[in-house]
């Protein structure tokens, strides 16, 4: 069975299980929407808190179908002739692919959208529900022991002192794309002119790389096992590791950290359009934005209030949002396959 067929079968099983659980009849089906979103602790938050609150408010049931962003996009691709999801929640790269493929419907007008930061807008067919910053994570204890100054710039990652002490994701992962784009921008290029980024990484950064890994768990292990002391990583991952007691710190580089925006869109061919639009709008309310902050997602609604301990761990408020660089994913997605091919030949050999 190929990957596409397996995706269709897995998705169909999820729908059948959901229908069995909800005793699907016609009346109930009209009040049930299907949402594809991230798994793990995010799924738990949705199922235990967000969805019950939404149902209490609107009477609409929500069936949550978990998977990473590429899984959700694969479901949309597999069901292109008849979508069974009503709402998709994905990171910004796959979300832009979904928009370009025509899977996302136009957002209905609603007052809450006036409160959303520009960085979280996707041209009217999706909206950011949470933001993570991609920047530099480093082992503070190791830096103090070696009398190394804290990193301030993306180019600090090329310092020879960090030879075999640095780690990052490959280009197949979002953090890898962010690294390549920022190295290009810092060296005079852009998403449209990626050559300066490749040259800088191939000549200056590769000697410092202890290993490439797209697994957040593996990267955390490398920090804990002292295989690496510095990395390109996300704010939420960094602070999750810090909560365990590990002396890791997160830096917004002076040239800007990269915005990793998790977004939601209503799916076309939608039999429950009104409920789908209402669910997305509900995710943007300050109350739900506070709940999502427990997952390390910075609020996209400027009216959300967070206490000091939580606010310090994620992008929060106008000052932090100004430090974030928004990637041109439309340009990236057009060229990414070619970039990955070159990366595999010249960087991650």
CA–CA distance, 201 with 310 (Å, rounded to integer): 34
CA–CA distance, 311 with 39 (Å, rounded to integer): 24
In the block, residue with structure tokens 């204890």: 141
Dump pLDDT digits (tens) for 257-292.
999 999 999 999 898 999 999 999 999 999 999 999
* DSSP character at residue 122: -
Please count the other Cβ atoms lying within 10 Å of the Cβ belonging to residue 226.
11
- Does the pLDDT value for residue 179 go beyond 50? yes
CA–CA distance, 225 with 269 (Å, rounded to integer): 49
Question: Which domains, ranges and CATH numbers included, belong to the chain?
Answer: 3-131+260-325 (3.40.190.10), 132-258+329-346 (3.40.190.10)
Dump pLDDT digits (tens) for 42-63.
999 999 999 999 999 999 999 9
pLDDT at 29: 40
Dump pLDDT digits (tens) for 18-43.
433 333 333 334 489 999 999 989 99
CA–CA distance, 220 with 233 (Å, rounded to integer): 10
Banded model confidence at residue 140, pLDDT cuts 50, 70, 90: very high
φ/ψ region of 282 (left if φ > 0, alpha if ψ in -120 to 50, else beta) reads alpha
Helix (H) or strand (E) holding 195: helix 195-200
- Does the pLDDT value for residue 105 go beyond 50? yes
- Does the pLDDT value for residue 300 go beyond 60? yes
Q: Mean pLDDT for the chain?
A: 91
Pick the residue with more confidence: 194 or 236? Answer: 194
CA–CA distance, 325 with 302 (Å, rounded to integer): 18
Which tokens belong to 238?
């960094």
Checking DSSP bridges between strand 32-37 and strand 87-91, what pairing results, if any? parallel
pLDDT at 18: 43
**For residue 137, what are the contacts with CB-CB under 8 A and spacing of at least 6?**
223, 230, 231, 232, 233, 237, 238, 241, 248, 249, 250, 251
Please count the other Cβ atoms lying within 10 Å of the Cβ belonging to residue 325.
17
pLDDT at 154: 98
- Does the pLDDT value for residue 11 go beyond 80? no
pLDDT at 214: 80
Checking DSSP bridges between strand 127-139 and strand 248-251, what pairing results, if any? antiparallel
Mean pLDDT of 147-157: 98
């Amino acid at each position: 069975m190929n990957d596409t067929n397996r995706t269709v079968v897995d998705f169909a099983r999820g729908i059948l299980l959901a229908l069995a659980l909800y005793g699907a009849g016609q009346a109930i089906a009209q009040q049930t929407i299907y949402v594809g979103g991230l798994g793990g602790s995010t799924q738990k938050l949705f199922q235990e808190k967000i969805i019950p609150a939404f149902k209490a408010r609107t009477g609409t049931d929500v069936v949550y179908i978990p998977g990473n962003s590429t899984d959700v996009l694969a479901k949309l691709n597999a069901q292109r002739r008849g979508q069974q999801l009503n709402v998709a929640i994905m990171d910004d790269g796959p979300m832009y692919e979904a928009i370009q493929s025509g899977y996302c419907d136009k957002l209905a007008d609603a007052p809450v959208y006036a409160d959303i930061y520009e960085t979280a807008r996707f041209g009217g067919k999706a909206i950011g529900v949470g933001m993570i910053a991609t920047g530099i994570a480093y082992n503070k204890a190791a830096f103090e022991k070696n009398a190394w100054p804290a990193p301030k710039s993306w180019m600090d990652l090329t310092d020879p002192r960090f030879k075999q002490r640095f780690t990052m994701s490959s280009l197949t992962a979002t953090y890898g794309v962010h690294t390549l784009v920022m190295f290009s921008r810092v060296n005079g290029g852009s998403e449209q002119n990626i050559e300066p980024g490749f040259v800088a990484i191939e000549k200056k950064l590769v000697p410092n790389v202890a290993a490439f890994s797209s697994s957040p768990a593996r990267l955390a292990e490398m920090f804990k096992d002292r295989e690496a002391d510095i990395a390109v990583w996300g704010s939420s991952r960094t602070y999750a590791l810090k909560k365990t007691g590990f002396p890791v710190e997160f830096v917004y580089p002076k040239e800007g950290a990269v915005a990793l925006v998790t977004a939601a869109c209503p799916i076309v061919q939608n039999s429950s359009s009104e409920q789908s639009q209402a669910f997305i709008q509900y995710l943007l309310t300050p109350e739900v934005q506070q709940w999502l902050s427990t997952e390390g997602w910075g609020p996209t609604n400027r009216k959300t209030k967070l206490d000091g301990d939580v606010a310090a761990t994620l992008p929060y408020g106008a000052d932090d949002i100004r430090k974030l660089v928004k990637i041109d994913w439309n340009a990236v997605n057009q060229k990414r396959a070619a970039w990955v091919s070159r990366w595999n030949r010249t960087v991650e050999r």
